Amino acid sequence: MDHQNPSQVLVHLYRAAVGHGDIWRQRLDATTNWAVITTAAVLTFAFSNAATPHFVMLLALLFVLFFLLMETRRYQAYNLWQRRIRVLHRAIIVPALKEDDEVDHELVTLLKRKLADDFATWVPAMPMWAAVGYRLRRNYGPLITLILFTWMLKLYIHPEAVANTQDFVQRASVGLAPGQFILAGVGVFFVMLVALALSAPSEQMKDWSSLPAPLERMKPGVKEEQLAAPPTPRPVPAE
């Protein structure tokens, strides 16, 4: 490609960006499908026989968490290309469709410069904790809630309905670990996941803006933050 012909470069760049974003979008769907299928299979197995131990559902939870971490890494890559496509839309396509006097040329120049700097690195723009929280809100939060709810339901009804709270707690034991420890650990873990999900930023876009995290939006006086360009990539740590 001729570097003196920026239009040709941008055409190929836009095609490549959309292609990368589509591929990572498909990979996100794949890990979500794996998590759903694994959960359905384990729940069916657990409730098919009253003698099936309850901890197999906790094993299903571990599998889902593994898929969550895998999908988080994929979402970081998808988010990187998604942000680049949005900046291309704002800096290239929108100005081309508007009249010249309607275009903020200074902003367009700034966006192009930031986009050029962004292509010089592969460091994800979204931190891993934020990606985990976002995927929890979108897909994995309801899935994990379902697993924990059905786990407690199995504790209650199998092998027969519990008569009191003490029996319920005793049934939650796993090997040498007492039921109180298991229930407390699961409860603390679930609260941590909820806090992480509510603290992650939102991906809803309106007028080139990004909504803050749900916890931030609960605070009085919080307004939508303008998304002028991808955030400055985090520096790569020196080896």
How much is the pLDDT for 235?
Answer: 46
Which residue range(s) make up the domain with 198? 6-224
CB 64 within 8 A of CB 42: no
How much is the pLDDT for 181?
Answer: 95
How much is the pLDDT for 229?
Answer: 39
Render pLDDT for 69-100 as a digit per residue (tens, 0 to 9): 999 999 999 988 888 888 888 888 888 888 87
239 within a domain of the structure (yes/no):
no
How much is the pLDDT for 84?
Answer: 86
67 within a domain of the structure (yes/no):
yes
Specify the pairing of strand 209-210 against strand 205-206. Answer: antiparallel
1 within a domain of the structure (yes/no):
no
According to DSSP H, which parts of the chain are helical? 6-48, 55-88, 94-97, 105-118, 128-135, 141-157, 165-171, 179-199, 214-217
235 within a domain of the structure (yes/no):
no
237 within a domain of the structure (yes/no):
no
How much is the pLDDT for 230?
Answer: 42
How much is the pLDDT for 40?
Answer: 95
179 within a domain of the structure (yes/no):
yes
102 DSSP assignment: G
232 within a domain of the structure (yes/no):
no
Domain count, the chain: 1
The end-to-end CA distance of the chain, in Å, is 35
Which residues of the chain fall short of a pLDDT of 70?
1-6, 203-210, 221-239
How much is the pLDDT for 208?
Answer: 55
How much is the pLDDT for 92?
Answer: 82
234 within a domain of the structure (yes/no):
no
